[in-house]
Structure 1
Amino acid sequence: MDRVYDHLVTLLADKFEVDSDRIVPSVTLGELDLDSLAVVELYVTLQEEWRVPLDDSAASAELTVGEVAGSVAALLTEPASGPEAAQ
């Protein structure tokens, strides 16, 4: 999860202009001043960059940075399935 967390910190700092000193695993996205639209944009960006199927409907400003990183990391460790896996 460390590489996912580190990438998430970089993404939040660069794309969403969050001060990296404020980003810790226990802080919520809302506490980082991300509104609901920004949270969905974050999820879409993570899906595109990591090629994981994050559930946009579960995107919430109440999620912590650690929870988001954990969700991505968990999806990265799951075995591939579906039509793309057969290619």
Structure 2
Amino acid sequence: MTSTYDQLVEIVTKLHNPPADLIRPDVTFAQLDVDSLTLVEISLRIEGDLGIRIEDNELEEDLTLAATTQLIDAKLAQ
């Protein structure tokens, strides 16, 4: 089984296709040029793939991939 971070990266790259050299835990969605519509798509994919709901106000452009991973892990632990 892959880690939550790896699963998140897979979702982001499938929906947005950012340059591979930009994918790092400390990069934000804004730095990846992810727009608000794509954030909603990412949220829906997280819900479908991982079975947890991320509210619209929780997934924001200034969130890093690492912080998003922590958010997902916290919800998975509930």
Which band: TM-score by shorter chain?
0.7 to 0.9
How high is the TM-score relative to the length of structure 2? 0.86
Which is greater in Rg? 1
Any unmatched runs of 5+ in structure 2?
Answer: none
Given that residues 25 and 64 in structure 2 are in contact (C-alpha distance below 8 angstroms), is that contact kept between their aligned partners in structure 1? yes
Matched position secondary structure for 1:29: coil
Which residue does 1:28 correspond to in 2?
28
Tell me how far apart the structure 2 counterparts of residues 11 and 43 of structure 1 sit (CA, whole Å): 9
- 1:16-73 CA-partner distances (Å, limit 9, x unpaired): 1112221111110010010111112111111111111211222211111111111111
Q: How many percent identity over aligned positions? A: 27
Q: Given the alignment of the two structures, is residue 65 of structure 1 paired with residue 54 of structure 2, yes or no? A: no
How high is the TM-score relative to the length of structure 1? 0.79
Which residue does 1:53 correspond to in 2?
53
Given that residues 40 and 56 in structure 1 are in contact (C-alpha distance below 8 angstroms), is that contact kept between their aligned partners in structure 2? yes
Aligned residues: 77
Root-mean-square deviation (CA, aligned residues, Å) is 1.4
